[in-house]
Amino acid sequence: MEWKGAEKGSMDFKYLYINTMGCQMNVYDSEKIASVLRSSGYKMTSSLKIADLIVLNTCAIREKAEQKAYSFLGRLEDLKREKPDLIIGMGGCIAQQEGEKILRKMPYIDLVFGTHAIGRLPGHIEEIEKKGRRIVDIEMSESIQEIETAGGPENGVKPTCFVTIMQGCDNFCTYCVVPYVRGRETSRKPENIIQEIAEYVERGAREVTLLGQNVNSYGKKEGLFSFPKLLSLVNDIEKLLRIRFTTSHPKDLSDDLIRSFKNIEKLCNHLHLPVQSGSNRILERMNRKYTRQLYLEKIDKLRHFCPDIAITSDIIVGFPGETRKDFNDTLDLIKSVEYDSVYAFMYSDRPNALSSEFSDKVEDHEKKDRLKRILDIQSAITIKKNEALVGSDYPVLVEGLSNKQGGAGRQLQWKGRTSSNKIVNFHFNKNDLPEIKNCSGKIVTVRIETAFPHSLRGKPVGIEPSSLGSKGEESYAA
């Protein structure tokens, strides 16, 4: 979110500005933050200037993420000087990690709250407003907090929504900070999850992404039922059209879950299955608990049950001790799997993570070189895969207007995704289908005409009737 034109102030409420960094879990948490603070009289704004309360929801996964957070906070110092009543809060994973130290380092910050403290925010804000105290709350609880959403989002729900189904992680991959900043793995009760999704669907959501660091172990600790069973319950929610989830750990990807891609009607045909490395030696040092062979077997099984499944991955380059040979094993794996896309990261040391103690660190220039080689190879695979879609029709769930709109008088440009999670842009031409005035949340069949490295473009050729709803026909333009 950046500076936008000032909005009109009011005596009845105060303005809240939230900047969200990091993963989808933080996006979900930020919505909860907005929701609990609404009951304290705060209304969202996209203008830093008029904000009475600024919250930064941080990510600690890599060094770069941390630098980004501190650079944003640094810019707020002047703002606080100009406006001493401004409250500045830092939440999320860096807040959890650093706690008290933040207040010492940055005297203009009023509140540091960790990943388990969102439900307690209204009390903290009241303390700060009334008594001017500075507060740190990084307490972690074993049980999951069910946060009441006070009245729901202000402007309705978007066609796609995220719902966290479990918090924390017990895997302790040696490079990763998540188990320390998110705590132990704990699953939410299925009835609460279903109720929350049903509420979003009632308010307009058509797709849900279920979030957890390792969704395949959902419910295991608590003796609840399995993740595939949860998927089938979500599948029964009326008016919900699509289900996604992230992330599944390869070691726990069960045959049952693999079969879900065939059996669960609304489950999209995309799986994010981070491999991290193609070298068994490195996988072991990472404490990933699977081998390259096991990973490849799972990929084969997935493609057997769901031949057109799109598979994406995360890769870390330059993990301590990664030799050229180890790296070549990763390149070789990427070529043989032919991912739809990969997110590749240069390894960085993290506080508490075991690998930060490993001695044989890889030089920065070598990491950069390896990252570039991965990206070059993957770009060629991605574009080849995207080009193979040209000429075919795909149902696209429209998420809203595309960021790039044509000039005056031009048709509206819409943006959505295929079930395989590819971004598709399109617009209605005079001689094509009758135009739908508001496409958001509808499934439009698009004939792909052009493939780009990160998206596709096509023309609309049909509308999925089930996505129109009872008053659907009325939304056709005359």
Count residues contacting ligand SF4 (CB under 6 A)? 10
In the complex with ligand SAH, the residue whose CB is nearer, 219 or 441, is 219
Token pair in block for residue 16: 């809240």
Tell me the closest approach of the beta carbon of residue 432 to ligand F3S, in angstroms.
Answer: 41
- Kindly state the smallest distance separating residue 47's Cβ from ligand F3S, in Å: 25
Q: Judged by CB under 6 A, which stretch of 1-9, 58-66, 314-322, 443-451 contacts ligand F3S?
A: 58-66
- Binder of ligand SAH out of 80, 124, 182, 249 (CB under 6 A): 249
59 forms part of the interface with ligand F3S (CB under 6 A): yes
Binding mask 150-189 for ligand SAH (x = CB under 6 A): -------------------------xx-x-----------
- Closer CB to ligand SF4, 89 or 114, in the complex: 114
**Choice from 18, 121, 241, 316 touching ligand SAH (CB under 6 A):** 316
Calpha distance 104→81 (Å, rounded): 17
> How wide is the angle at C-alpha 462 spanned by C-alphas 456 and 464, nearest 5°?
100
Question: Which partner from the list ligand SF4, ligand SAH, ligand F3S, none does 172 bind, CB cut-off 5 to 8 Å by kind?
Answer: ligand SF4
Determine the residue type at 18.
Answer: I
Q: Is 213 in the site for ligand SAH (CB under 6 A)?
A: yes
Q: In sequence order, what are the beta bridge partners of 53?
A: 16, 87
Task: For residue 181, state whether it binds ligand F3S (rule: CB under 6 A).
Answer: yes
Residue in the structure block whose two tokens are 């040209």: 390
For ligand SAH, give the closer residue by CB, 60 or 397: 60
Phi-psi region of 151 (alpha: psi -120 to 50; beta: other; left: phi over 0): left
The β-bridge relationship of strands 14-20 and 42-44 is: parallel
216 scored as a contact of ligand SAH (CB under 6 A): no
Greatest alpha-carbon span in the chain: 69
In angstroms, the CA 367 to CA 373 distance is 10
x/- contact string, 62-101, with ligand SF4 (CB under 6 A)? ----------------------------------------
* 26 is a contact residue toward ligand F3S (CB under 6 A): yes
Q: Please enumerate in sequence order all residues whose Cβ is within 8 A of that of 467, keeping only pairs 6 or more positions apart, or say none.
A: 206, 241, 397, 441, 442, 443
Piece of the chain touching ligand SF4 by CB under 6 A; list 134-142, 172-180, 435-443, 461-469: 172-180
SS3 content of the chain, % helix, strand, coil (to 5): 35, 20, 45
Q: How far is the CB of 266 from ligand SAH (least distance, A)?
A: 23
Minimum CB separation of residue 399 from ligand SF4 in Å reads: 26
Q: Nearest residue to ligand F3S, using CB? A: 22
Interface residue with ligand SAH among 199, 256, 314, 366 (CB under 6 A) is 314
Q: Point out which span in 74-82, 178-186, 262-270, 355-363 binds ligand F3S (CB under 6 A).
A: 178-186
283 near ligand SF4, judged by CB under 6 A: no
Q: Are 340 and 369 in contact (CB under 8 A)?
A: no
> Minimum distance between the CB of residue 178 and ligand SF4, rounded to whole angstroms?
4
- By CB under 6 A, which span of 174-182, 220-228, 397-405, 407-415 interacts with ligand SF4? 174-182
Residue nearest to ligand SAH (CB): 314
Q: How many alpha carbons fall within 13 Å on the CB side of residue 139?
A: 11
Q: Which amino acid is at 308?
A: D
Indicate whether 214 belongs to the interface with ligand SF4 (CB under 6 A): yes
Among 19, 20, 96, 171, binds ligand SF4 (CB under 6 A): 171
Q: What's the burial of 421, exposed, middle or buried (CB within 10 Å: 0-12/13-18/19+)?
A: middle
Q: Is residue 173 close enough to count as binding ligand SF4 by CB under 6 A? A: yes
Among 16, 25, 37, 342, binds ligand F3S (CB under 6 A): 25
343 binds ligand SF4 (CB under 6 A): no
DSSP 273-336: ---B-S-HHHHHHTT----HHHHHHHHHHHHHH-TT-EEEEEEEES-TT--HHHHHHHHHHHHH
Report the C-alpha gap between 93 and 89 in whole angstroms.
Answer: 13
On whether the CB atoms of residues 248 and 271 are closer than 8 A, the answer is yes
Q: Which of 203, 258, 196, 202 is nearest to 233 (CA)?
A: 196
Give the other-Cβ count within 10 Å of 408's Cβ.
5
Residue 374: half-sphere exposure toward Cβ, Cα within 13 Å:
30
User: Interhelix angle for 324-337 vs 292-305, to 10°?
Assistant: 10
Residues forming contacts to ligand SAH in the complex (CB under 6 A) are: 61-62, 175-176, 178, 213, 247, 249, 274, 276, 314, 316, 345, 347-348, 350
Residues forming contacts to ligand SF4 in the complex (CB under 6 A) are: 169, 171-173, 176, 178-179, 213-214, 249
Residues forming contacts to ligand F3S in the complex (CB under 6 A) are: 22-23, 25-26, 59-61, 92-93, 177-178, 181-182
